[in-house]
Amino acid sequence: MSLSLKPGETQRIRIDYTGPAKRASECWSLVVVETPAPRMQANGRQLVYNVRSGLKVYVAAEHLPVDGEVEGLSVARTVTSAGRQQDVAIVAFANRGARHFVTKGRVEIRREDNSLVQTLELPPMYALPGAIMHGTTVLPELPKGKYLLISIVDYGGSEIAAGMYAHEVR
């Protein structure tokens, strides 16, 4: 189906799903919006192009399971654009459910006595069913010693996923 609008016109669009009422997994489709750009002329030549934007539309029944787990937590040494070394915590999160979701997470840095050093927010991770997503956060400069990194990820399920990593600063 298609719809054409004149410049300045607006139109509300409703998209109906006509598939089976009970699905075993979610499905999706793409709504494409095409905007013709004005013709541009230079030196007797003409350039005509269209800009296409896609909007992904998901259909997910409420009964579909939401499940996920932290598959790994590690630390990697990276180099900034200024040439300075920094440590980065990397959280690998797996979507084990049947619908997509967006996570909210953090990494806690704890000392050997379990006292909290700092809490670092993770960027949201968008996870499709069966996908493994990676979230990173830059660790602060820590004094020499042993630390425990704990990743805590809320994916909207009945539980919160977590992972641990023993980190030593030498």
What span, in angstroms and rounded, lies between the C-alpha atoms of 26 and 46? 45
What integer pLDDT is reported at residue 21 of this predicted model?
Answer: 67
Among 63, 83, 116, which residue terminates a domain?
63
State pLDDT tens for residues 103-153: 999 999 999 999 999 999 999 999 888 999 999 999 999 999 999 999 999
Number of domains in the chain: 2
Instruction: Supply the DSSP string of the chain, one letter for each residue.
Output: ------TT----------S-SS-SS-EEEEEEEEEEPPPEEETTEEE--EEEEEEEEEE--TTS---EEEEEEEEEEEE-TTS-EEEEEEEEEEE-SSS-EE-EEEEEEEETT--EEEEEEEPP-EE-TT-EEEEEEEPPP--SEEEEEEEEEE-SSSS-EEEEEEEEE-
Joined tokens for residue 107 = 């990494």
- Kindly report the CATH number assigned to the domain that includes residue 123: 2.60.40.10
Residues 156 and 75 in one domain: yes
Residues 32 and 91 in one domain: no
Residue span of the structural domain in which 92 resides: 68-169
What span, in angstroms and rounded, lies between the C-alpha atoms of 165 and 68? 18
pTM of the model: 0.73
Residues 72 and 58 in one domain: no
Residues 8 and 81 in one domain: no
Please state the length of the chain: 170
Residues 49 and 76 in one domain: no
State pLDDT tens for residues 20-75: 767 777 887 888 888 877 666 667 777 777 888 998 888 877 788 899 999 999 99
